[in-house]
Amino acid sequence: MNGWHSDEAGTRLRAALSSPVPSARLQTALAAGTHPDPGQVDALVERCAVEPDFYVRDMLTWSLTRHPASTTVPRLLEETRAAGRQARSQALHTLSKIGDPRGWTAVTRELLHDADDEVARSAWRAAVVLVPAGGEVELAGTLAARLGRGNRDVRLSLSRALAALGDAAMPVLRAAAEHEDVDVRAHAIATQRLVRDPDEGFDAAVSEAKRIVALEDAPIPDEARADR
């Protein structure tokens, strides 16, 4: 790929990334990152939106990180507003890997609350990487509104995002630990435990949180009432 003219790069790269063989697409993405060319950026971003293979998508992201942020970031910002779920998710993921502060403008409340779990998870991960100094507490409040949502993987992603905010997340987690919804309470308590002890596994933290919630909600025995 080295030596391609920029006006040819996109066309040739699109053709190569259309190979039916995943290993061939992987090598193409690797070569595009090894020999960056601004003319490749559109083709790489477009392929991220439709590439079915996880490892190829990961290589496409790596390749984009090898190109100048001045070229990739504006294009990725556009992609976060695309209709396709994978397009939005991969654009957010790639922005988090690039780490350019301009990427923060893509992390909208709409994406943080996106109905698609994968898009929302990518937005959460990007948010904690790109949040500007001083914005951590507000971000924690926005993320905490999603406590109790989804399956284990979704909840794990949210807990990790909140845990990454550290002390900034603790006030909203303490408040959520008093929530009337038992799922929200248990998720908040489990996340608090991960903030305090990052080495504690998520499943262990959830099990302990559920035990705490069950004890809190257990009826008071008659004899205990009589002692009051």
Domain parsing of the chain, residue ranges = 135-228
Residue 10 confidence (pLDDT): 86
Model confidence at 13: pLDDT above 90: yes
Give residue-wise pLDDT tens across range 25-66. 999 999 999 999 999 999 999 999 999 999 999 999 999 999
Model confidence at 5: pLDDT above 70: no
CA distances from 128 to 88, 157, 160, 227 (A): 17, 11, 10, 49
Residue 21 confidence (pLDDT): 98
Please, where are the H alpha helices in the chain?
6-17, 22-34, 41-48, 54-65, 69-79, 85-98, 109-112, 117-130, 136-144, 152-164, 170-176, 182-196, 202-217, 222-227
Give residue-wise pLDDT tens across range 169-187. 999 999 999 999 999 999 9
- Tell me, yes or no, if the pTM score tops 0.75: yes
CB count, 10 Å around CB of 214? Answer: 11
Give residue-wise pLDDT tens across range 116-171. 999 999 999 999 999 999 999 999 999 999 999 999 999 999 999 999 999 999 99
Residue 4 confidence (pLDDT): 43
Cβ-proximal residues to 144 (8 Å cutoff; 6+ apart), any chain: 162, 169, 172, 173, 175, 176, 188
* Average confidence (pLDDT) over 63-88: 96
Model confidence at 22: pLDDT above 80: yes
* Helix (H) / strand (E) containing 219: none
Give residue-wise pLDDT tens across range 84-115. 999 999 999 999 999 999 999 999 999 999 99
Buried b (16+ CB within 10 A) or exposed e, 6-34: eeebbebbeebbeeeeeeebbebbbbbbe
Residue 218 confidence (pLDDT): 60
Residue 49 confidence (pLDDT): 97
